[in-house]
Amino acid sequence: MKDNKILIFDTTLRDGEQSPGASLNVHEKVEIAHQLAKLNVDVIEAGFPISSPAQFEAVKRIAEEVDCIIAALSRANEKDIKAAAEALAPAPRKRIHTFSSTSDYHILGKFGHERYGKTLEEKRRTIIKMSYDAVAYAKTFTDDVEFSAEDAGRTDIGYLAEVIEAAIEAGATTVNIPDTTGYTLPFEFAAKIAELKKRVKNIEKAIISVHCHNDLGLAVANSIAAVQSGARQVECTINGIGERAGNASLEEFVMALNVRKDLLDFYTDINTKEIYNTSKMVSAFTGLLVQRNKAIVGENAFAHESGIHQDGVLKSRETYEIMTPESVGIPKNNIVLGRHSGRHGLKVRLQELGYKVTDEELQNVYKAFTELADKKKEVFDDDLRMLMGDEIQKDNG
Ligand code: KIV
Ligand code: ZN
């Protein structure tokens, strides 16, 4: 693998499906997994098999049918890992993804019982041992084992380095640094990754991955910052869906790398022309609507309404577009006609509808158009046909 390739680990079917309000049946998960393979992601995290029979079944079906590295999640215990291994068994390329909680918030909140140790320090030692044992056990099923330090974003760097080192010693081939609560800032997260590279013995034996949540709207920015510090796998979801405010959005991260190649010397193998189809499918199946102004895939992402913008884009796209809609699989940009639109946008739309207008006719119809646009949010094609009426001759030639 080239050193500037960034692996895309898609967790739409696991973390994404954990979005409040989203749930997918087995058939829908399998369909999405096929589409993710078409999008050419490197790893598909298909689910959390121990969590329910349907989850187990979905992971198994995806492992049987979809040609990609298929990952399944497990906590750091034998029962979970065994379930993940069983569900993944049919996959020619499989990854067990196991995780432990490492921040003091999580350790005290989830491992309060004395059997994990009486003091925080004792509990921390227990977690290191659990993590080591979990990775070693997962390795008995597959060589490809990922370890995640949950809430790494809020974990003390010295302790985090110890946990990651233990996971690598046990055989983890990917070590994931999640910002589980979306708490970190880009420069801080970048420094954390750089510090781990310095502190962890044998860090070069594993791929450093990041998994950023979006509670402060920084998931994509944090992922980019981490890549600049040496992370080579980014975990993300389609449309940025996921727990609470969601995960890093796959389409935003990938297109940021593509569009800003001048400053970011990294690439992914994503077939960007499949982005829009995938976004539509995930939205339809989960029932989670994409906000209109969402970057890359929102309805307005390539729409232009104001006269100045329409005129600029119609003369030369680059004036207001930093990427083409076609590059993400959207057939063309959208000139939305409304109260801010100008004559140029109106004229082009009329031509698209088959009307050939003289300058004088355009003046007249533009006046009628602005009066109508003041009363409506958007002026549709049928409104224009009505406005044209007998006033302007239709030219079908
Ligand atoms: O956010 C998180 O920490 C996770 C882990 C299980 C990787 O989803
Ligand atoms: Zn997560």
**pLDDT value of residue 54:** 96
- CB count in 10 Å sphere of residue 171: 17
Helix (H) or strand (E) holding 43: strand 43-47
Q: Cα–Cα distance between 197 and 205 in angstroms, integer?
A: 11
**Which residues of the chain carry a pLDDT beneath 50?**
392-397
Distance, CA 259 to ligand 2 centroid (Å)? 26
b/e code 284-296 from CB counts within 10 Å (16+ = b): ebbebebeeebeb
Ligand 1 neighbour 180 (Cβ under 6 A): yes
Determine the residue of 148, 184, 237 to mutate for testing ligand 1's pocket, defined as the one with the most ligand atoms within 8 A of the Cβ atom: 148
For 89-147, the pLDDT digits (tens) are 999 999 999 999 999 999 999 998 999 999 999 999 999 999 999 999 999 999 999 99
The H-assigned helical ranges of 70-110 are 78-88, 104-110
Residue 141 DSSP symbol:
T
Would you state the pLDDT for residue 396? 41
Cross-strand partners of 174: 146, 207
**With contact defined as beta carbons under 8 Å apart, do 31 and 66 qualify?**
no
- Residues 33 and 52: their CA atoms lie apart, in Å, by 19
Tell me, using a 6 A CB cutoff, whether residue 181 lines ligand 1: no
Question: For ligand 1, what atom is nearest to the CA of residue 18?
Answer: 8
Ligand 2 is an ion; residues with CB less than 5 A from it:
15
Whole-number Å distance between alpha carbons of 219 and 246: 9
Q: Which two tokens stand for residue 272?
A: 């960007």
Best substitution site from 150, 155, 247 to test ligand 1's pocket, by max atoms within 8 Å of Cβ?
Answer: 150
Task: Give residue 296's pLDDT.
Answer: 98
Q: How far apart are CA 222 and CA 235, in angstroms?
A: 12
Binding residues for Mn(2+): 15, 211, 213, 247
CA distance 85 to 95: 9
Task: Say how far apart CA 36 and CA 46 lie, in whole Å.
Answer: 11
Dist. CA 122 → ligand 1 center (Å): 23
**Residue 355: what pLDDT?**
84
Q: What distance in angstroms lies between residue 16's CA and the mean position of ligand 2's atoms?
A: 8
Instruction: Indicate which residue's Cα is closest to atom 7 of ligand 1.
Output: 148
Q: What is the pLDDT of residue 335?
A: 85
Q: If you measure from the C-alpha of residue 236 to the centroid of ligand 1, how many angstroms do you get, rounded to a whole number? A: 11
* 125-143 as b/e: b if 16+ CB within 10 A: ebbbebbbbbbebbbebbe
* 7 φ/ψ angles, rounded to the nearest 5 degrees: -75, 135
